[in-house]
């Protein structure tokens, strides 16, 4: 199984849950904050993935990646932090409100 195929379920779940959370109050602000967080995470991923790959800590078999890279890092590596930046706040928004007892 290739890395792009592995990423697809994460993207689908993230898109579905984020869309579902769009009905909750504060959706616009949450999406803006998620976008900013995603941008920061993409920069950090680019820096640290490239450093770790350059240091030889790990490699990616060419036949299992899309071939699109940012520096040494395959583009697939960037899907996980972007998904996290949108999925975590979306899930939190969908949780029932907790009221102090």
pLDDT, residue 56, reads 92
pLDDT, residue 52, reads 96
- CB contact burial 89-98 (16+ within 10 A = b; e otherwise): bbeebeeeee
- Write the DSSP symbol of residue 75: G
- Ranges of the chain whose pLDDT falls below 50: none
CA torsion, ordered 15, 19, 25, 30, to nearest 10 deg: 30
């Amino acid at each position: 199984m290739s890395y792009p195929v592995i990423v697809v379920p994460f993207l689908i779940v993230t898109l579905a849950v984020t869309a579902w959370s769009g009905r909750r109050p504060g959706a616009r602000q949450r999406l803006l904050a998620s976008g900013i967080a995603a941008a920061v995470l993409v920069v950090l991923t680019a820096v640290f993935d490239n450093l770790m790959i350059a240091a030889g800590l790990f490699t990616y078999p060419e036949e299992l990646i899309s071939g699109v890279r940012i520096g040494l890092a395959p583009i697939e590596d960037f899907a996980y932090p972007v998904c996290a930046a949108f999925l975590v706040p979306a899930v939190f928004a969908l949780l029932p409100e907790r009221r102090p007892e």
